[in-house]
């Protein structure tokens, strides 16, 4: 069977454009696209998803390879995938922000550790909450919903150019504001309680000047913070679940779906 260059080019393009969008998601999405995930695993995962998505696509016009229009389409597909994954990543960054605020209130602002996933130093409490958020994400089937949203986006809009516009970037900005406000709300109960503890210790130190603020106040704030975290930790599932639902809504709007069932 003879295969012409035009047929071979058409077959490659049918899979190449979806691969660009899926690859963009795997670059910026949390858990699946973390630096700790081997590159070969992510590449094989992207290829498997592309093989699943390709039969769902309608017939698309074939663009001449390596032309300006071809490169523009590749850039648009990759950019859309990066934007979708970035919105989901903001949920985890909001959790890390909440943990950092709690750690600073406990007096652990200096306690930081190297995080190979984020490639930077992160606070201990923030890293702990991020690990819990990762487990919750997998327990809530977040990875399956991400695959569902991604495959549905190809059914709705196989061409990313119809989705990229001022509205998409505005939606991504709105998601950032919402997610970081949620991170602040996650830390606010513990921070408020620790503020009362510090105020009470301030009154005690004024009444008894012989009390050493460093030797007494720091252990007191640390112990109170750990107790408050233990009390407040069950609410992490509710807050994180609500943040995920908002992220799915923003991502569905950016992908042209409207809302996921």
Q: What is the DSSP annotation of 113-163?
A: EEETTTTEEEEHHHHHHHHHHHHHHHHTTHHHHHHHHHHHHHHH-SSGGGT
Contact yes or no for 46/26 (Cβ under 8 A) = yes
Contacts of 69-74 with C-beta under 8 Å, sequence gap 24+, read 72/161, 73/17, 73/159, 73/160, 73/161, 74/16, 74/17, 74/20
Q: Who wins on pLDDT, 123 or 1?
A: 123
Predicted confidence band of residue 120 (pLDDT cuts 50, 70, 90): low
pLDDT at position 105 over 70: yes
Mean pLDDT along residues 44-59 = 82
According to the model, what pLDDT value does residue 137 have? 92
Rounded Cα gap, residues 250 and 88, in angstroms: 9
Residue range 53-63, pLDDT digits in tens: 888 777 766 77
Quick one: DSSP state of residue 35? Answer: T
Rounded Cα gap, residues 198 and 207, in angstroms: 14
* Exposure on the CB side of residue 90, measured as CA atoms within 13 A: 25
According to the model, what pLDDT value does residue 215 have? 67
According to the model, what pLDDT value does residue 158 have? 77
Q: Who wins on pLDDT, 212 or 31?
A: 31
Whole-number mean pLDDT of the chain?
79
Helix (H) or strand (E) holding 155: helix 142-156
According to the model, what pLDDT value does residue 260 have? 44
Q: Who wins on pLDDT, 115 or 92?
A: 92
Within 10 A of 144 (CB to CB), how many other CB atoms are there?
A: 10
pLDDT at position 145 over 80: yes
Percent of the chain with pLDDT over 90: 0
According to the model, what pLDDT value does residue 99 have? 84
Within 10 A of 99 (CB to CB), how many other CB atoms are there?
A: 27
According to the model, what pLDDT value does residue 15 have? 81
Mean pLDDT along residues 187-194 = 83
Tell me if residue 46 falls in helix, strand or coil: helix
According to the model, what pLDDT value does residue 261 have? 44
Percent of the chain with pLDDT over 70: 84
- Cα separation values, 211 from 107, 108, 204, 206, 228, Å: 18, 21, 8, 9, 24
Q: Who wins on pLDDT, 25 or 166?
A: 25
Rounded Cα gap, residues 252 and 258, in angstroms: 5
By mean pLDDT, which of 8-17, 113-122, 158-167, 213-222 is the weakest?
Answer: 113-122
Mean pLDDT along residues 62-91 = 85
């Amino acid at each position: 069977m003879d295969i012409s260059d035009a047929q071979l080019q058409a077959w490659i393009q049918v899979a190449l454009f979806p691969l660009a969008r899926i690859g963009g998601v795997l670059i910026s999405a949390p858990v699946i696209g973390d630096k700790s995930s081997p590159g070969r695993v992510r590449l094989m995962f992207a290829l498997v998803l592309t093989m699943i998505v390709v039969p769902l696509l309608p017939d698309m016009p074939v663009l001449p390879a390596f032309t300006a229009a071809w490169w523009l389409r590749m850039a648009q597909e990759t950019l859309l995938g990066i934007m979708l994954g970035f919105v989901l990543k903001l949920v985890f960054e909001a959790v890390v922000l909440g943990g950092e605020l709690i750690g600073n209130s406990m007096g652990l602002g200096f306690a930081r550790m190297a995080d190979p996933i984020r490639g930077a130093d992160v606070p201990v409490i923030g890293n702990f909450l991020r690990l819990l958020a990762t487990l919750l994400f997998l327990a809530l089937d977040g990875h399956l919903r991400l695959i569902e949203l991604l495959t549905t986006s190809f059914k709705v809009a196989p061409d990313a150019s119809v989705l990229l516009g001022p509205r998409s970037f505005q939606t991504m900005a709105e998601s950032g504001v919402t997610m970081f406000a949620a991170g602040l709300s996650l830390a606010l109960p513990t921070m408020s309680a620790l503020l009362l503890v510090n105020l009470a210790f301030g009154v005690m130190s004024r009444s008894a000047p012989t009390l050493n603020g460093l030797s007494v106040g720091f252990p007191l704030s640390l112990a109170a913070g750990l107790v408050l975290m233990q009390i407040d930790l069950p609410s992490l599932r509710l807050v994180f679940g609500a943040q995920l639902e908002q992220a799915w809504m923003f991502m569905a709007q950016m992908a042209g779906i409207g809302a996921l069932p």
